[in-house]
Structure 1
Amino acid sequence: MEPLITLATVTLLLRAAGALGVRALRAWPVALRGGLAAMFAVTGTVHFVGMREELVAMVPPALPAPGLLVTATGVLELAGAAGLLWPRTARWAAAGLAALLVAMLPANVHLALTGTDLAPHQELLPRTAMQVLFLAAAATVALTAPRRRRSATPGPAGSRR
């Protein structure tokens, strides 16, 4: 539940700052990008501090090296969070985080179905609904982040690229 609270709270605070005059935060996609960055910073951090053992335990038994997988996904989440903050990389970071959410869905399903859940209120339907919400937020950022503009420098024979 903490990731959802972080996403919603930071997104709304950034959007409120935009409404109060912070020009860069006026657009919802920019505020959402900040909320996602905060959420993935939190979730990436717990891969190393606080809940590491629980995260290792939730990796499905069919997957090898659970500790390495938790470390790798934590690093990817932290890198993605940083990438969301830089407009030039935000689109790619969001797309990568969306792919990571899809890849981690089996671990969330496994956790909900085995009864070894981290919190009793995290049954399969609410857990999957949150994952879909996070995926939708990442996809929204990936689709709305500014694209890198091509250079207007003339090419051969005076044509534009």
Structure 2
Amino acid sequence: MAPLIVLIVVTAVARLAGPIRDGWLDSWPHAVRIGLAAMFALTASAHFFPPRRAALIAMVPTALPAAPALVTANGILEIAGAVGLLIAPVAPASAIFLALLMVAMFPANVRAAGADLGIKSMPLPLRTLVQVLFIGACVVAVF
């Protein structure tokens, strides 16, 4: 739930601050980019620090090798995507990349919910809805 709150609050603050900074933030796509960058910075931190790191490692399907390395790589990709959202020329590509990353990682959430392991912040139907919202925010950030 914390990533959703961060996305909403940071996007709202950025949007309200829009007229202050030469109008750059005076658009929803730009404000959403800031909100997504903050959200992905938060979610990326879970990939590196206990206790969430262990829970994320547990979510990796057993058929995949080197679960700790995959979790670390995913965290690095989230950080890179968050930084990319803040760089105007690459922000649209970063938003698309992050949306695809969320789609690729979603099966781990389904597996975790079914096996009752990993991070259990919300039931799968709600998690699915929130994931759709995050992907929708990435779509908005493309423009």
TM-score interval, smaller chain: over 0.9
* Counterpart in the other structure of 2:65: 64
Letter in 1 for 2:36: L
Residue 117 of structure 1 and its aligned partner are, at CA, apart by 4.8
Answer whether contact 1:6 1:39 (CA < 8 A) is retained: yes
Taking the aligned partners of 2:73 and 2:95, their CA distance within structure 1 comes to 17
* Larger relative contact order, structure 1 or 2 (CA cutoff 8 Å, min sep 6): 2
The code of the aligned residue for 1:30 comes to: H
Contact 1:112 / 1:127 at 8 angstroms: preserved in 2? Answer: no
AA of the residue aligned to 1:2: A
Q: Which has the larger radius of gyration?
A: 1
Amino acid at match of 1:90: A
1:79-118 paired onto structure 2 within 5 Å? 79-118=80-119
Summarize deviations over 1:43-69 as a string: whole Å, max 9, x none.
111100231111101112222211111
* More helix, by proportion: 2
Instruction: Determine the structure 2 residue equivalent to 1:3.
Output: 3
Query: Identity percentage over the alignment?
Result: 49
TM-score normalised over the length of structure 1: 0.83
Structure 2 counterpart of 1:138, one-letter code: C
What's the TM-score, normalizing by structure 2? 0.93
In the TM superposition, residue 116 of structure 1 has moved relative to its aligned partner by 2.0
Number of residue-to-residue matches in the alignment: 141
Give the conservation status (yes or no) of the 8 Å contact 1:46–1:52: yes
Structure 2: tracts of 5 or more residues without a match: none
Equivalent residue letter for 1:86: I
Deviation track 1:10-50 (CA, whole Å, cap 9, x = no partner) reads 0001011115x332211011000000000011111110023
Shift of 1:118: 2.6
